[in-house]
Amino acid sequence: MREKSIDLFLEELSSGAPVPGGGGASALMGSVSSALCSMVANLTTGKKKYAEYQGDIDRILQDTAVLTGKIADLMQKDADAFEPLAGAYSIPKEEPGRDEKLESALKVASGAPYEIVETMNEVSLIIEELSVKGSRLAISDVGVAAAACKAAVCGASMNVYINTKLMKDREYASELNKKTDDLVKTISDRCDKAYELVLGGLKV
C-alpha cells in the first residue's frame, strides 16, 4: 500500500474492490496527521522563540518519525486482515467449522482498525502539545493535524464495530467496543480542544 502513488491509491479506493477501504483510508489520514506534526516540529526546532521547548520538540521529531511509518503500515495490515474474512464468508454455510473460521476472521479483521485507533492516541497527545509549543507560523497545520487525527480515529472505529457486530462471542465484542469507545472519546475530545485553541488564535 505504501508503495502506491496517490493517484493509484485513490483509483483503487474508488473502485469496486473491497480493499483499500475505510480502514486503509483511516490509516492514511492518521499517517498524514502524524506527518503534519513532524512538519510543525521541524519548523519549530532551533528557533530562539521556542528554545524552552527544544527538548520536547526533539522528542516529538523522534516519535513522529516512528509513528508516521507505523500508521502507514497499518494500511497494509488492514488490507491483509480482510483476506481471511473474505475467505470465511465464501465457505458454504452448511460446511462444518465455518462459524469458527468466521469468528476467528472477524477478530483478526477488527484488530487492525483497533490498532489504528490505539496508535492515534499517541498522535493526539503530540497534537495537544504542539498546539501550545509549536511555531505560530505553522499553527494552522496543528489544527489540520487535529482534524485528520479525529477523522482517522472515528473512521477506524467504524471498521471495528462492523466486525464486532457479527461476532458470536458477545463478551469479546462488548469488551473491544468499550475499549474503542473510550479511546475514540478521549482522542476526539483532545483533538477538538486543540482544534478550537488553534482556531481561536487564528480568528483573533
Predicted pLDDT at 19:
87
Predicted pLDDT at 9:
87
Q: According to the CATH classification, is domain 19-202 in 3.90.1300.10?
A: no
Secondary structure element (H or E) that encloses residue 167, with its range: none
Distance of CA 156 to the CA centre of its chain: 6
Model pLDDT for residues 22-44, shown as the tens digit of each residue: 999 999 999 999 999 999 999 99
Model pLDDT for residues 140-152, shown as the tens digit of each residue: 999 999 999 999 9
Please list, residue by residue across 56-83, b when 16 or more beta carbons sit within 10 angstroms of its beta carbon and e when fewer do.
bbeebeebbeebbebbbbbbbbbbebbe
State the chain's maximal CA–CA distance in angstroms.
70
Predicted pLDDT at 3:
75
Predicted pLDDT at 159:
96
Asked if 133 and 57 count as a contact pair (C-beta separation under 8 A), the reply is: yes
Low-confidence ranges of the chain (pLDDT < 50): none
Q: Whole-prediction pTM value?
A: 0.92
CA 146, CA 125: separation in Å to the nearest integer?
A: 10
- When the pLDDT of each residue in the chain is averaged and rounded to a whole number, the result is 95
Predicted pLDDT at 1:
65
Asked if 174 and 134 count as a contact pair (C-beta separation under 8 A), the reply is: no
Q: Tell me the backbone φ, ψ of residue 19, rounded to 5 degrees.
A: -135, 145
In this structure, the chain runs to a length of: 204
Predicted pLDDT at 94:
86
Return the C-alpha torsion angle 123, 19, 98, 171, nearest 10: 20
Asked if 173 and 161 count as a contact pair (C-beta separation under 8 A), the reply is: no
Q: How far, CA to CA in Å, does 195 sit from each of 37, 117, 137?
A: 13, 19, 16
